[in-house]
C-alpha cells in the first residue's frame, strides 16, 4: 500500500493521513475533505482501499488560496453571465467544510433546514447582507427560489390588484420579459422602451410619462444581455407608488440606498452565489395583500412569517451566499467593491475605445454596465475565431447572448483584475494579428 500513497491518492479507512511534500490541487482536496480518516461506519474497522484521482496543476499551498487578484494556475477566467465565477477563497472554504461543517458531523447539504446549525447559517447570511447594503429595519429579507423570472409574476400578484396599473421602463430583454408576465395579473404601461435603439441607453427621467395612479414603477437596474446599467434611479410620480428593481446582475456590486425602493430582487447566480437562490428585499408594509389567486409559494407573507423556511429552502446555496457576504465585508464593504469593479470596467472599456473601431461597444457611454460588457468586432467574421482562441488561452464564456451575438465579458465582483488584464492583452494581440 505504501506505493499507492502519492499526492494523487488517499486511503479510505486508514487512521494515518498520508504525508505529502507537494501542495494539493482542488480535485485532491475535495477527496481529502477535512477528515479523510473518519470514514469508518458504526465504529467498525474498514479495509484500507487505495483510490486514485487525476489531479491538475496545484492551486493550494499550505492550505490557503492564492491571492484573489491573480487567480490559480489550474482555473480558467470565466466570463460567463451566470452562473458565474465565484470568489476562489469562498470555494476553498466551502470545500474545506463540505464533509463536516464546523464539527457538526454533517455537510450543510445534509442538515435539517429547521435545525440549529442551518438556522445559524441563514440568520448570519441575512445579518451580513443587511450590513452590506445597510438595509433599514422596516424591510424584510427573503431567501426564495425560482429565479428573478418567477418574481415577474410574484410582484404583481403580491403588490396590486387586477385593475391596478404598473409602469415599466424597458431597457433590455429582462425588462421586456417582466412586462409580458405582469400583463397576466394587472394592467401594464410601458412608459419607455429602448427596443427601437436596440437597448443601448437609459432615458432621461423627466421624459418618462408615468401613469398618475401607477401602483409601482419597475426597472431592471442592470440588463445582463445588453450591458445597460442605471447609474441613478427615477422617482415615482404617484406619491403613493414605489420603485421596484430587478438587480440580479449588479446586486452587491456597489452601494445602494435601499430606502429609495419598495422592492429589490434578484437571482444570486451572478454576483453573490450559485444558482438556485433568489433574494427579495421588500418594505414590510407592502407585504400581506396578495391577490387570492396567488400560489402559496409566491406569497411574500407566507415566506416572511416563516423566515424563508416555509418549505425546504436552497440550503447549500444560501450557505454559499453567506460566505460571499462575509468575503465582501472582509474586502471593506461595497464602496471598496465598487472601486475595484470600476477599475476593471475602465480597463476593458478603454481597450475597446483605443482599438480605433476594431472592437466596438454599442452602449451609450454614460450607462455602460460595470458588470456586463458587450462588444463586437469590426470584422464580424472574426468573432468565432476570437472566442475560440481566447478559450485556448484560458478565457471562457465570452460568446455574446444568442439574441444579440458578438461577445460579452461579464466581470462580476469575483472576476479578478488579472482576468481583465489578460483579456485586454489578448484583445490587443488579436488586433495586431488581424487589423
**Which pLDDT tens digit goes with each residue over 22-33?**
334 444 443 344
CA distance 409 to 148: 21
Rounded to an integer, the average pLDDT of 289-311 is: 98
Position 94 pLDDT exceeds 50 = yes
Rounded to an integer, the average pLDDT of 7-13 is: 34
| Residue 192 among the catalytic residues | no
Rounded to an integer, the average pLDDT of 100-128 is: 98
Q: What is the mean pLDDT of the chain?
A: 88
**What is the pLDDT confidence band of residue 434, given thresholds at 50, 70 and 90?**
very high
Helix count and strand count (H, E) for the chain: 10, 16
pTM of the prediction?
0.84
pLDDT at 161: 98
Cα 83 to Cα 214, 248, 329, 392, 406: the distances in Å are 34, 11, 22, 21, 20
**What is the pLDDT confidence band of residue 73, given thresholds at 50, 70 and 90?**
confident
Cell of 163: 385593475
Q: Which residues contact 384 (CB under 8 A, 6 or more apart)?
A: none
The alpha carbon of residue 430 and the mean position of all alpha carbons in its chain are separated, in whole angstroms, by 30
Cα 174 to Cα 110, 247, 285, 321: the distances in Å are 35, 11, 27, 23
Q: pLDDT higher for 72 or 343?
A: 343
**What is the pLDDT confidence band of residue 435, given thresholds at 50, 70 and 90?**
confident
Give CA torsion, residues 250, 251, 256, 258, to 10 deg: 140
The share of the chain scoring above pLDDT 90, in percent, equals 82
pLDDT at 61: 37
CA distance 280 to 327: 21
Q: Looking at 246, 299, 304, 327, which residue is catalytic?
A: 246
The share of the chain scoring above pLDDT 70, in percent, equals 83
Rounded to an integer, the average pLDDT of 185-192 is: 98
Give CA torsion, residues 259, 264, 268, 273, to 10 deg: 10
- Note the pLDDT tens digit of each residue in 307-337: 999 999 999 999 999 999 999 999 999 999 9
**What is the pLDDT confidence band of residue 16, given thresholds at 50, 70 and 90?**
very low
pLDDT at 50: 42
| Residue 246 among the catalytic residues | yes
Contact 398, 408 (CB under 8 A): yes
Position 403 pLDDT exceeds 60 = yes
pLDDT at 72: 65
pLDDT at 185: 98
**What is the pLDDT confidence band of residue 62, given thresholds at 50, 70 and 90?**
very low
- Note the pLDDT tens digit of each residue in 235-252: 999 999 999 999 999 999
Q: Looking at 101, 174, 254, 304, which residue is catalytic?
A: 174
**What is the pLDDT confidence band of residue 45, given thresholds at 50, 70 and 90?**
very low
**What is the pLDDT confidence band of residue 231, given thresholds at 50, 70 and 90?**
very high
pLDDT at 57: 35
pLDDT at 402: 87
**What is the pLDDT confidence band of residue 232, given thresholds at 50, 70 and 90?**
very high
Q: Looking at 215, 270, 344, 399, which residue is catalytic?
A: 270
Contact 165, 188 (CB under 8 A): yes
Position 41 pLDDT exceeds 60 = no
Contact 74, 59 (CB under 8 A): yes
Position 55 pLDDT exceeds 60 = no
Amino acid at each position: 500500500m505504501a506505493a499507492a500513497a502519492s499526492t494523487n491518492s488517499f486511503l479510505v479507512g486508514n487512521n494515518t493521513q498520508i504525508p505529502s511534500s507537494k501542495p494539493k490541487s482542488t480535485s485532491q482536496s475535495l477527496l481529502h475533505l477535512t477528515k479523510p480518516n473518519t470514514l469508518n461506519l458504526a465504529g467498525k474497522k474498514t479495509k484500507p482501499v487505495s483510490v486514485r484521482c487525476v489531479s491538475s496543476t496545484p492551486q493550494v499551498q499550505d492550505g490557503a488560496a492564492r491571492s484573489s487578484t491573480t487567480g490559480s494556475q489550474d482555473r480558467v477566467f470565466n466570463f460567463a453571465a451566470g452562473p458565474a465565477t465565484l470568489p476562489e477563497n469562498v470555494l476553498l472554504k466551502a470545500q474545506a467544510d463540505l464533509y463536516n461543517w464546523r464539527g457538526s458531523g454533517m455537510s450543510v447539504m445534509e442538515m435539517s433546514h429547521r435545525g440549529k446549525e442551518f438556522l445559524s447559517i441563514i440568520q448570519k447570511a441575512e445579518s451580513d447582507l443587511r450590513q452590506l447594503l445597510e438595509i433599514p429595519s422596516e424591510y424584510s429579507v427573503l431567501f426564495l427560489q425560482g429565479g428573478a423570472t418567477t418574481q415577474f409574476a410574484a410582484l404583481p400578484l403580491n403588490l396590486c390588484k387586477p385593475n391596478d396599473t404598473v409602469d415599466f421602463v424597458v431597457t433590455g430583454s429582462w425588462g421586456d420579459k417582466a412586462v409580458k408576465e405582469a400583463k397576466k395579473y394587472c394592467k401594464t404601461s410601458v412608459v419607455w422602451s429602448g427596443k427601437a435603439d436596440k437597448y443601448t441607453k437609459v432615458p432621461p427621467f423627466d421624459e418618462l410619462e408615468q401613469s398618475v395612479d401607477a401602483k409601482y414603477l419597475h426597472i431592471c437596474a442592470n440588463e445582463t444581455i445588453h450591458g445597460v446599467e442605471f447609474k441613478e434611479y427615477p422617482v415615482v410620480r404617484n406619491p403613493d407608488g414605489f420603485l421596484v428593481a430587478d438587480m440580479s446582475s449588479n446586486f452587491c456590486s456597489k452601494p445602494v440606498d435601499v430606502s429609495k425602493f419598495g422592492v429589490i430582487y434578484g437571482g444570486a447566480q451572478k454576483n453573490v452565489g450559485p444558482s438556485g437562490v433568489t433574494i427579495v428585499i421588500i418594505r414590510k408594509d407592502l407585504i400581506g395583500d396578495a391577490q387570492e389567486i396567488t400560489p402559496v409559494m409566491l406569497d411574500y407573507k407566507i415566506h416572511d412569517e416563516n423566515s424563508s423556511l416555509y418549505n425546504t429552502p436552497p440550503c447549500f446555496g444560501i450557505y454559499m451566499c453567506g460566505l460571499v457576504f462575509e468575503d465582501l465585508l472582509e474586502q471593506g464593504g461595497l464602496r471598496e467593491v465598487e472601486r475595484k469593479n470600476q477599475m476593471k470596467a475602465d480597463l476593458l472599456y478603454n481597450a475597446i475605445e483605443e482599438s480605433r473601431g476594431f472592437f466596438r461597444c454599442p452602449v451609450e457611454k454614460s450607462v455602460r454596465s460595470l458588470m456586463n460588457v458587450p462588444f463586437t468586432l469590426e470584422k464580424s467574421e472574426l468573432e468565432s475565431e476570437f472566442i475560440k482562441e481566447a478559450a485556448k488561452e484560458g478565457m471562457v464564456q465570452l460568446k455574446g447572448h444568442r439574441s444579440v451575438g458578438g461577445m460579452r465579458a461579464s466581470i462580476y465582483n469575483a472576476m479578478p483584475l488579472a482576468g481583465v488584464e489578460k483579456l485586454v492583452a489578448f484583445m490587443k494581440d488579436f488586433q495586431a494579428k488581424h487589423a
